[in-house]
Copies of this chain bind each other. A is one copy, B any other.
């Protein structure tokens, strides 16, 4: 990880400490594995800081990613709270047809906006949130303006392939995960403990 002196010190009127603790918008994108797992790895650091964590999974199926959900919920029982919202089950705060994914995604985003305004969490993981933006269900301008104007100290991690270029341009930290080799190439399908 980077240490030492930053190459450029901007003329932004902030002290080094203010700049250092400025909350981040982080994007994990690209076709490779590790986008979501890295977000949940970050959540372990947030948990250790005592930060309330909100996870919003814009996944189509609740079958996947059960491992991190169980583990982080267990941590939420013995530390700062971990709140889990999952679209695959139908969002917890609405009772619509599961087929209406676009409406579900918009409701999820509306809830995120409410939580950002209320400063409910200090780390928000918006897992696979790039897709409803890509599909035009949620305007990227609304996402960027909301994140730009969020109060307090709220870090936001967004995962998923094909992150919108405007979101990439806006984010503070962007990592692209590139596939070099995948077991599927050798005829091996996904397995428990690795894929979920």
Contacts and interface: CB of A to CB of B under 8 A. Distances in A.
Nearest to A188: B19
A192 B189 CA distance: 37
Interface stretch (A27-35, A95-103, A111-119, A131-139): A27-35
Copies of this chain per assembly: 2
A65 to B, nearest CB: 8
A41 B46 contact: no
Nearest to A163: B180
Interface string A82-93: 000000000000
A48 B71 contact: yes
A79 interface: yes
Chain A contact surface mostly: mixed
A173 interface: yes
Interface residues of A, number: 79
B6 A184 contact: yes
Contacts of A62: none
Contacts of A6: 184-189
Contacts of A179: 174-175
A140 interface: no
A189 to B, nearest CB: 5
16 contacts: A2-B190, A8-B185, A19-B187, A19-B189, A21-B191, A28-B34, A34-B175, A37-B44, A40-B44, A44-B70, A45-B196, A48-B193, A51-B193, A74-B78, A175-B177, A175-B178
